[in-house]
Amino acid sequence: MSSGWIAAVIFFLAGAAGSYALFRSWQRERRLRMQFLQGDRERASRRRRVFEVLHILGDSILQGQPDTTLHRQIAEGAVKVVESEGAALYLLDDKGLSLVPRHYTKECPALIALPERIVTQAKTNAGTLPSYLRLHSVAPGEGVLGNVVLSQKAENVPDLRHHEKFDGETNPFQQHVAALMAPLRHGGRPLGVLAVASDRTQPFSQHQLEMFIALAEQVGFTLGNAQAHHEAGAKRQLEAELSNAREIQSILLPEKAPEMPGFSIAARNVPARMVSGDYFDYVPVSQTHLAWPLLMSVARGSRRR
């Protein structure tokens, strides 16, 4: 009798242990499934935000918004997509010799080395750091940002201070800066760097990096299109101004040559392109004398015959 009870208890305990193990396994699978679904929703949300940002940028180009507006929308859009505290947009100057800060969002941590005097002043003056970040350019290869534009490779930086390319001293403004940085290019031509950053100990995820890279690729394409759009608009404006100048010049030139006995007089001004710097006129001096002033500010600007 006692051995039967012992067997029953052992059987019950074994069943309970098995049921508990199954329950724990079910809980673990459910938690993993919920995490996957949550991650999938977050990924879908980020993809949707990327499309929303690109739509805003496209509208700005079509509406002819100034570059400052486009740059601000790029930085703010990056913050929205990655859900970071701030973002910074650096673009190469015309000669490609330096990265110029085009927009820093208000809450973006500093991404470049800070001189000791700036750190000291920033402790008592809140405007020192933003002013320095807006005005200080970075050379290609200088610091982490310069390395990104030089290598043309995106980076997920868990802690800016510990990056091998960070050349700044420890300071209270860059204690735990996690950042994503990606090069911007169009048609194989480097344009600059887009970066997002947060003051936190947790690094950005791999999916955040992937979405950020996808956004940076589209931003590069957008900047290239914006430049082409501006150039086309400037060309149209120049052509219109030259056309007006040509009409004015044709009005100022004499319509026909005067008649003088014993002489056959003819002159014509034909601009090599739209306008020329040449001007002439007929000035009667007397019944037998005619002055013909000829002004040639650019000798090669027209053909005379």
pLDDT in tens, 229-250: 666 655 666 666 666 677 767 7
At 23-65, the pLDDT tens digits run 666 667 666 666 554 555 666 676 787 778 878 887 887 787 8
- Would the CA dihedral through 218, 180, 138, 117 be positive or negative? positive
What are the DSSP E strand ranges found in the chain?
86-92, 99-104, 155-157, 177-186, 189-199, 269-271, 278-280, 283-284, 290-291, 294-296, 302-304
What predicted TM-score, i.e. pTM, was given to this entire model? Answer: 0.67
Contact partners, residue 293, CB within 8 Å, separation at least 6? 280, 281, 283
Cα–Cα distance, 167 to 170 (Å, whole number):
10
Neighbour-count burial for 162-201, b at 16+ CB within 10 Å, e otherwise: ebebbebeebeebeebbbbbbbbbbeeebbbbbbbbbbee
Q: Along the chain (305 residues), what's the average pLDDT of each consecutive run of 10 residues?
A: 62 62 66 57 70 82 85 94 95 93 95 94 93 95 95 96 91 93 93 94 90 92 77 62 69 75 77 71 75 64 46
CA angle (213 as vertex; 208, 219 as ends), nearest 5: 125
Could you tell me what percent of the chain has a pLDDT over 90? 45
